[in-house]
Structures are given as structure tokens and as C-alpha cells.
Amino acid sequence: MDYKTLYNIFDKDWLNALQDKEFEDALVKNDDYKKEVNDWLDFFDKKKWLDEKLKNRLRSGKTWASFYSKINEIRMAFFFEKKLNFYLTDYESQTINNKNVEFKARINNLELCIEIKTLPDLIYKENLPIPEDVCDEIDKDLEKAVKQLPEDKPNIVVLADDLRMSLLDDPRAQNDLYCLLNSSEYQKISAVCVFGNISLERMYEMKWALNDNAKFLLSKEIFDNFLELPYKN
């Protein structure tokens, strides 16, 4: 495979200059990983969304953390359309108060918005995230999302993390997410999708949580065969 779209953005001189081992391992040495990233970029390109501005954003950071936050949007677009059968109609779509959401989409004749939030590597103690920091980050991200979401349609917020303990594995964070969805301030959020990191093993792993208090309710059937995020009392 020639990884044409990948190398069109990250040419070999750029890749050879990398100083970040994790980044280098992913985009230089790992053919399976390069194939997935190239597929995401191909998809975005076919949507006419891979313009020079975005290419420059992708090239602007030469560390894994910087790359991760930027590529997450493209990974999510590929996932929602190719794995969940949503049809994405717009990227960086303006909503309210001159703010944007990542995507507008349609599924089963329903129009909705999708906003992506990437949780960064946080403070760790003995290689585990401090739960309060993770929960605070979830709350801050949902609060930011609400300010971007429209009032007149369902909205999905995606939490895609780069945590050593993924939200998919963290019962404390999962319970906190459900508690937040029970509050009145998040009624614009119809559902939250939680994604694994972009390692090969977890890049398409997803669980979802519906908001029973949302202004616009969603059916769990739209998430196909993916599992609901567990809640433990």
C-alpha cells in the first residue's frame, strides 16, 4: 500500500524529522496503523473537507499529544459514517452565537449534530488517573459542548480520551457521566458516545449513554450493535 493521502500531508522528510517515539512508531514503523489513518484521511478527502487549512493543522504539532487531538475529529467522522451508517452532511458547522459543532449528520431521516471532545492525558498517581480530575474534565467538556449545541435538534457529544485508564474502563467516571446527564443543564445533549483511544486495539471501540432527560430523545437502535455504557449504583 502506498499510503498516498497520508504521505501527501506528512511527507517522508517531515516524518523522518520526528522526535516523538510514540508518534514515530505509529506513522513511520507501523503499517497497520498507517493504513487506518490513511483510510480516515481518504474518507475526509472524498468529503472535500481535507483542505490546506486542515492539512496545516495536522502538520502543526510534531508530538503524539498534538496529533491525537487533531486526528480524533477525522477518526470520528470515519466511524460514524462507515461503522454506524450515519451520513455526515457538514463539517465545522455553525450553530449558535457564532459557535461551531464538528459535524451535522443524518440517520433514518433524522438530522442531528455531533460535537467531539478529546480528553487529554491528565495527572496520574501510581500510573492511574485521579478520578476527580477525570470527572472534572468530563464536566468541563460537557459544559463547553452545551454552549455550541443548537436548541432545535438532537445532539451527540463524543468523549474520545487519551487516558491511561480509558473512560471505557473507569466505573467512577462512567457513573459521574450518568449523574451529569441527570442534571437539567445538559438537556441539549441527547446522547454521549465514549470511545477508546486510537491504538490499533481500541480505535473502533465505542459505548454510548442516552440522556433520558434530553429535550430530543434518541433511540438506542441508532447505535447498532455497540454496547451501552454500564452504570453501577
pLDDT digit string, tens, across residues 177-199: 999 998 999 999 999 999 988 88
How many CA within 13 A on the CB side of residue 109? Answer: 0
Domain ranges of the chain: 1-62, 86-228
Tell me the pTM: 0.92
In 3D, which of 31, 55, 23 has the Cα closest to residue 41? Answer: 55
The pLDDT confidence band at residue 16, using thresholds 50, 70 and 90, is confident
Query: Angle, to 10 degrees, between the axis of helix 171-181 and the axis of helix 131-148?
Result: 30
pLDDT tens for 85-135 read: 999 999 998 887 788 999 999 999 999 999 999 887 664 445 555 666 888
